[in-house]
Amino acid sequence: MKKRPAEKKNTHPEQTKTRASRPRDAAATRRAILDSARRAFARFGYDGVGVRDIAAGAGVTAMLINRYFGSKEELFAEVAVETMATPVILTPEFIASGCPAQTMASALVQLTKPDATPLEGFLIMLRSAASERAAEIGREQIEAHYQKTLSHALRGPHRAERAAVILAMVAGVQMMRQAMGLPALANAKPAALERVLERALGALIDPPE
Amino acid sequence: MKKRPAEKKNTHPEQTKTRASRPRDAAATRRAILDSARRAFARFGYDGVGVRDIAAGAGVTAMLINRYFGSKEELFAEVAVETMATPVILTPEFIASGCPAQTMASALVQLTKPDATPLEGFLIMLRSAASERAAEIGREQIEAHYQKTLSHALRGPHRAERAAVILAMVAGVQMMRQAMGLPALANAKPAALERVLERALGALIDPPE
DNA sequence: GTCTATATAATGATAGAC
DNA sequence: GTCTATCATTATATAGAC
Task: Please write the tens of the pLDDT for every residue from B100-131.
Answer: 999 999 999 999 998 888 889 999 999 999 99
**What pLDDT was estimated at residue A23?**
64
Residue A22 has pLDDT above 60, yes or no: no
**What pLDDT was estimated at residue B23?**
65
> At A16, is the pLDDT very low, low, confident or very high (cuts 50, 70, 90)?
low
Residue of B49, B196, B206 to mutate when probing chain A, most A C-beta within 10 A: B196
d(CA A40, CA A69): 16
SS3 A75: helix
Residue type for position B49: V
Q: Is the CB of A14 under 7 A from strand D?
A: no
**What pLDDT was estimated at residue B75?**
98
d(CA A42, CA A111): 14
**Mean pLDDT over residues B17-30, rounded?**
72
End-to-end CA distance of chain B: 65
CA of B18 to nearest chain A CA: how many angstroms apart? 27
Q: At what angle do helices A120-128 and A72-84 cross, to 10 degrees?
A: 140
Q: Could you give phi then psi for residue A6, rounded to 5 degrees? A: -65, 160
**What pLDDT was estimated at residue B81?**
94
CA of A72 to nearest chain B CA: how many angstroms apart? 10
> At B18, is the pLDDT very low, low, confident or very high (cuts 50, 70, 90)?
low
Residue A166 has pLDDT above 70, yes or no: yes
> At A4, is the pLDDT very low, low, confident or very high (cuts 50, 70, 90)?
very low
* DSSP states of chain B: ------S-GGGS-------TTS-S-HHHHHHHHHHHHHHHHHHH-TTT--HHHHHHHHTS-THHHHHHHSSHHHHHHHHHHHHHSS-SSS-HHHHHSSSHHHHHHHHHHHHT-TT----HHHHHHHHHTTSHHHHHHHHHHHIIIIIHHHHHH--SS-HHHHHHHHHHHHHHHHIIIIIS--HHHHTS-HHHHHHHHHHHHHHHHSPP-
**What pLDDT was estimated at residue B58?**
96
Q: Which of residues 30-49 of B touch A (CB under 8 A)?
A: 44-48
d(CA A143, CA A185): 27
Q: Which residue has the higher pLDDT, B21 or A56?
A: A56
> At B150, is the pLDDT very low, low, confident or very high (cuts 50, 70, 90)?
very high
> At B10, is the pLDDT very low, low, confident or very high (cuts 50, 70, 90)?
very low
Residue A92 has pLDDT above 90, yes or no: no
**Percentage of chain B exceeding pLDDT 70:** 89
Residue type for position B2: K
> At A46, is the pLDDT very low, low, confident or very high (cuts 50, 70, 90)?
very high
**What pLDDT was estimated at residue A116?**
84
pLDDT tens-digit map of A107-124: 999 999 988 888 899 999
How far from B190 is each of A112, B105, B114, B196, CA to CA, in Å?
Answer: 30, 10, 11, 10
Of residues B139, B165, B175, nearest to A200 (C-beta): B165
Q: Which residue has the higher pLDDT, A79 or A132?
A: A79
In our burial notation (b when 16+ CB lie closer than 10 A, e otherwise), range B112-141 reads beeeeeebbbbbbbbbbbbbeebbebbbeb
d(CA A18, CA A132): 34
Q: Which residue has the higher pLDDT, A166 or A133?
A: A166
The answer to whether the CB of A29 falls within 8 A of the CB of A68 is yes
Q: Do B130 and A130 touch (CB under 8 A)?
A: yes
> At B49, is the pLDDT very low, low, confident or very high (cuts 50, 70, 90)?
very high
Tell me which residue of B175, B173, B151 sits closest to B164, measured CA to CA: B151
Give the single-character DSSP code of A207: P
**What pLDDT was estimated at residue A18?**
52
**What pLDDT was estimated at residue B6?**
33
As a whole number, the mean pLDDT across chain B is 89
Tell me which residue of B19, B72, B204, B173 sits closest to A165, measured CA to CA: B173
